[in-house]
Structures are given as C-alpha cells and as structure tokens.
C-alpha cells in the first residue's frame, strides 16, 4: 500500500521513467483543441491507440469542426470508423455530441466538467480529459489502464475492487503532480 509520500514519489518517478523510455507519439497528444481531443477520446474507448490513429486523422480531415461534424452523414462516418468496430455506436455518439454542443453551447466545447457530463456520451473520464488537456485545468484522469496499474501496485491480491482503486487514486494523488502525468498512456 502507498502509505508515505516518499513511496508515492518513488512510484511516480518510476512511471515517468517508464513513459520517457516507451512513449508513443499520437496526433491527439500534440493538440490542445477540445474538439479534436473529444473526437480522439470517443474513438479511443475500448480500442488501442495504434488502431485509432489513422481513423482519427481521417475524421479530423473530413470533419474539422463541430459545425461540419453535426451535419455528417452517419453512413459515411460509420464507413470511416468501420476498422475500429462499433462504427454505428461511435458515429451516432460523435454526431449527437456535435449536435448537442452546436445547439446548447453555441458550437463551443464546454470548458467545465459539469456541462460536459450533461452531454449524452460524455462521462467522467472524457470530461476530465477535455478539461485537463484542452483547457489546461488540472483534473485527475483515471481510466482502466490507470486502475489496473494502480490496483497491481497498491494491493497484494490479484483481485481488487475497481471502485477502491479509483478512490485510492483520487485521495492520494497530489493535485500539483497531475500535470506530470497528463500525457502518459500506460498500455501493457
């Protein structure tokens, strides 16, 4: 268990060292555009980043704004997304999110978590990612990879409660250190 601040820092340093040796470059890591980040996060759900990269590039090239995406033909967008699977679900989600933002937020991705979470299809992780990466506000982004790594690190048992891991991360990560980790993608 992480009990002392020194232990947390040691773990943080190990993760950053690992990342610096193994990091991968993806186009969504080079942007602060909330719309582009939103598209990336929807596509990245339950899909490897390497598979998402070419699809993300195609979508951003063809639908570069919320106004254009909200008018997308579902069949055309689904065809682009097809290699990732769940193309109908993902295309519906992207179009509906774009329509909601266009209608309810004057075409601008909201810069507060509560407003983002009110949009169907945007949950805790995606809203945190957009706020943190797109608006440069510190937010804790806890996805299944973070849960898995932390679960293995802080518990001796193989089985652990995901809710416990989430709560442990939220209560033990120092806000000032969140920025250190916002670009780390841990995939084993």
pTM over cut 0.85: no
What residues have CB less than 8 Å from 90, skipping those under 6 apart? 42, 43, 45, 78, 81, 84
- Domains of the chain in sequence order: 5-25+141-181 (no CATH), 27-135 (1.10.340.30)
At 9-40, the pLDDT tens digits run 567 778 778 888 998 899 999 999 999 999 99
pLDDT for res 148: 75
- Let me know how long the chain is: 188
What residues have CB less than 8 Å from 131, skipping those under 6 apart? 111, 112, 113, 116, 137, 139
DSSP H or E segment with residue 33 = none
* Eight-state DSSP code of residue 120: T
At 85-125, the pLDDT tens digits run 999 999 999 999 999 999 999 999 999 999 999 999 999 99
**Mean pLDDT, the chain, as a whole number?**
83
DSSP string, 4-67: SHHHHHHHHHHHHHHHHHH----GGGG---HHHHHHHHHHHTTS-HHHHHHHHHHHHHH--SHH
Angle between helical axes of 144-154 and 162-172 (0-180°, round to 10): 90
Distance, C-alpha 160 to centroid of its chain: 23
Structure-token match 């295309």, residue found: 91
pLDDT for res 155: 64
């Amino acid at each position: 268990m992480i009990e002392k601040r020194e232990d947390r820092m040691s773990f943080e340093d190990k993760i950053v060292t690992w990342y610096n040796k193994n990091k991968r470059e993806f186009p969504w890591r080079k942007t602060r555009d909330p719309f582009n980040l939103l598209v990336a996060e929807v596509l990245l759900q339950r899909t490897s980043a390497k598979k998402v990269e070419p699809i993300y590039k195609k979508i951003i090239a063809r639908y570069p704004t919320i106004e254009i995406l909200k008018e997308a033909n579902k069949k055309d967008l689904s065809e682009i997304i097809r290699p990732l699977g769940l193309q109908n679900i993902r295309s519906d989600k992207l179009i509906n999110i774009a329509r909601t933002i266009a209608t309810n937020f004057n075409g601008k991705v909201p810069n507060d978590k509560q407003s983002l979470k009110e949009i169907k299809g945007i949950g805790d992780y995606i809203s945190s990612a957009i706020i943190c990466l797109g608006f440069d506000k510190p937010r804790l982004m806890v996805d299944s990879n973070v849960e898995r790594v932390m679960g293995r690190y802080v518990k001796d048992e193989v089985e652990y409660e995901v809710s416990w891991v989430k709560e442990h991360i939220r209560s033990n990560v120092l806000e000032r250190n969140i920025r250190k980790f916002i670009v780390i993608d841990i995939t084993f």
